[in-house]
Chains A and B, each alone.
Chain A
């Protein structure tokens, strides 16, 4: 494994594929550091020696043809891969100076700090209110009913859903439309006040209008959270992401500032992909 000290200053010569700083800012704080990450499903290797630094309060987009390991990588960040028995992981995923795969790391605690939004909206079979209030209550984030109401309202407002549902908080979460359900899931994720929110193609099951709403939402949310999103849609990556990583066959081919990546890709493969030659 590489050096223990996190790479704080990206002006130093980065590892292969590490992004340069954005032009206007000197550096960003590091959120998650990944070094030499390898992952196998049984015998077949799905991730090959990944190195990447994810920065706080930024949107990082993961792009690449399907089956290249984007979701798999995302699930490494909150250890959702633990649920798949055949998975075997080597390498370092570090958050807050701690190896998240270490034996003493509690994966539940990790997931509490690294939330996730899925491709298909999956609200709980509970009321809209309960969908959001449930987790904070279990995490002891709120004790009084008033606090809880306040927190639900704040989460719904942050997710841009408050005005649509404030009169029907007791209706089941599944009664909402697809886009609303997805925003409910986002509200649910931000209500537990995580550091990082992972989004796995959050808009691929939605109509264009809902997609636009959620893209706007990501832009707002990055003031509070680190967002890592997987997308199939190049325009979306260009619109919402500060950084973009291009995955191909389990490897990160290129990782860079989005603007740089889309204007002057360093790799031939990246150029082919973003110009739509395959994918």
Chain B
């Protein structure tokens, strides 16, 4: 609470200083102007410049200072820091008011500042990417200091078991194994099932909408499909676990097969449903931008409409369709809630989709929601898994972007 009050005080004083700057600056500018001197800018602009020169440096000093404090872990009381930035604010006020001179381009100065602020905002997205990369890599590296990278990539047993004991200083943790192959196998199994559902349905829906459907059906069907993409994944997860999984178990039982309630098919199918709109809407765009001359060329040879679509339109749109499928795949790989709720927790290296198996994202969640020490190998393993996930999805996204760009250049369409 102490810091909060301090912060409040700081803000109030800064605000007051800003107000002072505004009114003093404007008054001075008005005075100069009233004395008959021509000025480069209007009084209001001088006033705003004074405000900026008061608040800007002060906030900057405050922010940079506290960041340094955090980084260096130094123990300077925040009071000093805030006081320092208030001093800077006062200095800024003096400078800002002093700058109210006829030959000073207040407007240009303000716009320069605005430009810098906008550039700074644009940098945030870059910082985010670096933040993700940095946080994942640094923690993953700590993990790889404890366990070999090679074992992580090729090991077939995931058994973090005793690692938290090691972190607590008891036991040596050597019995813990971090072989991620079963996790990736589970992830790819569920992703494959999802794509098996989503690619045919999504692509065929897109074909229907762009080649056959009357305008009225199109205008209804498109938003309806988008609804599928808007349903939160936690809802899909519930649907998969409560409704779909028992159905799968029953169907498997009907054929005399033994299915787990945490089988891979249920989350796979539901994830597929979730991805349908990604595939259908991108494919729809791509198919629509295949030039009509292609279709006419084929029809004029005496091809049926079906043959034209299958042999000419779809192949022409193929780069875009593949790119849609890759995007869908990247979604499926990184999807978390559906698998957390409907897939198993047991790392299980199997080719039988009716068995329970777990995925990378499930393990990430599991190892970060327990009561482990943050330093334990199990917790850090989440970041190692995250790193692999990041690399894989990033690659898929980039390939997908490249393919769509190739398609765009080929047909010179710019709306994709």
Contacts and interface: CB of A to CB of B under 8 A. Distances in A.
7 contacts: A80-B300, A109-B302, A110-B302, A118-B297, A122-B293, A125-B312, A139-B302
Given A122-B296, A174-B410, 17 more contacts: A108-B303, A109-B302, A111-B299, A111-B301, A112-B302, A115-B300, A116-B300, A122-B293, A122-B294, A123-B297, A134-B301, A134-B311, A135-B302, A138-B311, A185-B297, A189-B300, A189-B301
Interface string A102-134: 000000111111011010101111100000001
A83 B301 contact: no
A203 interface: no
Contacts of B304: 108
A80 B303 CA distance: 12
A245 interface: no
> Is the interface on chain B under 10, 10 to 19, 20 to 34, or 35 or more residues?
10 to 19
A109 B304 CA distance: 9
Contact of A125 (B301, B307, B315): B315
Contacts of A138: 303, 307, 311
Contact of A78 (B295, B300, B312, B315): B300
Which of B295, B298, B301, B304 has the most CB atoms of chain A within a 10 A radius of its CB? B301
B297 A122 contact: yes
Contacts of A188: 297, 301
Interface in B284-333: 291, 293-304, 307, 311-312, 315-316
Given A124-B312, A124-B316, A126-B315, A118 B303 contact: no
The 7 residue pairs across chains A and B that have the minimum distance between CB atoms = A112-B302, A116-B300, A122-B293, A135-B301, A122-B297, A111-B302, A125-B316
Contacts of A125: 294, 312, 315-316, 410
Interface size class of chain A, counting residues whose CB lies under 8 Å from the partner chain: 20 to 34
A43 to B, nearest CB: 19
A186 to B, nearest CB: 12
A134 B316 CA distance: 15
A159 interface: no
Nearest to B317: A125
A192 interface: yes
A115 B293 contact: no
B184 to A, nearest CB: 35
Interface of A: 78, 80, 83, 108-113, 115-116, 118, 120, 122-126, 134-135, 138-139, 174, 185, 188-189, 192, 198
Given A125-B315, A134-B311, A138-B307, A120 B293 contact: yes
B301 A118 contact: no
B297 A108 contact: no
A124 B294 contact: yes
Contacts of A135: 301-303
Contacts, number: 66
Given A108-B304, A188-B301, A118 B296 contact: yes
A108 B291 contact: no
Contacts of A192: 301-302
Contacts of A123: 297
Nearest to B297: A122
A25 B60 CA distance: 96
Contacts of B315: 124-126
Contacts of B311: 134, 138
A139 B247 CA distance: 46
A118 B294 CA distance: 10
Nearest to B293: A122
B296 A83 contact: yes
Interface in B381-416: 410
Contacts of A109: 302
Contact of B300 (A111, A120, A174): A111
A185 B410 CA distance: 18
A80 B296 contact: yes
Contacts of A110: 302
B293 A118 contact: yes
A247 to B, nearest CB: 21
A277 to B, nearest CB: 33
B382 to A, nearest CB: 45
A123 B301 CA distance: 12
Contacts of B301: 111-112, 115, 134-135, 188-189, 192
Given A120-B293, A126-B315, A138-B307, A83 B300 contact: no
Nearest to A131: B297
Nearest to A109: B302
- Chain B CB within 10 Å — which of A110, A134, A189, A198 has the most? A134
A126 B312 CA distance: 9
Contacts of B299: 80, 83, 108, 111
B168 to A, nearest CB: 62
Contacts of B293: 118, 120, 122
Contacts of A108: 299, 302-304
A153 B304 CA distance: 25
A138 B316 CA distance: 18
Nearest to A192: B301
B297 A124 contact: yes
A111 B410 CA distance: 28
Nearest to A185: B297
A174 B291 CA distance: 14
B291 A122 contact: yes
Contacts of B316: 124-125
Nearest to B295: A83
A92 B311 CA distance: 33
Contacts of A174: 410
Contacts of B296: 80, 83, 116, 118, 122
Contacts of A185: 297
A192 B296 CA distance: 16
A58 to B, nearest CB: 21
A118 B291 CA distance: 13
Contacts of B291: 122
Contacts of B294: 122, 124-125
A108 B301 CA distance: 8
A130 to B, nearest CB: 9
B314 to A, nearest CB: 10
Nearest to B290: A125
Contacts of A134: 301, 311
B242 to A, nearest CB: 46
